[in-house]
Amino acid sequence: MKPKKILVACGGAVATSTVAAECIRQLCARHGISADVQQCRIPELTTNLQGADLIVTTAKVAQDYGVPLVHGIAFISGVNVEATEAKILGFLSPA
C-alpha cells in the first residue's frame, strides 16, 4: 500500500509545522500507517496538493482545497491533542 501523503502547513514551514509534522509521524508510526509527511507554507499548499490525502495546518485556513483538512494547533498548544489525533486517524484509516 502506498504511503498516505500528509501536508503540514504553517506560515513559514519551519517552527510550528516541524513540531506538528513530528507529532503526526509518531502518531502514524504508533498506528501502523505508512505516511509521507511533508512540510510547506500555507501559500504553497496549492502547488503541493497532488496526491495529498490530508492537510494539517497550524494556522487558520479558509480556502477549500478539496482534501480533508485538520487544524493542528493542538500539537503546539497541547490542548485537545487526543481529539485532533482521532480526526487525523479518521481520515487516514482504511474505511
40 is catalytic: no
In this structure, the strands spanning 69-71 and 4-10 are unpaired
How many angstroms separate the first and last alpha carbons of the chain? Answer: 14
Grid look-up 494556522 returns: 59
User: Which of the residues 10, 23, 28, 40 is marked catalytic?
Assistant: 10
**Would you say 54 and 4 are in contact if contact means Cβ atoms under 8 Å apart?**
yes
Annotated catalytic residues are 10
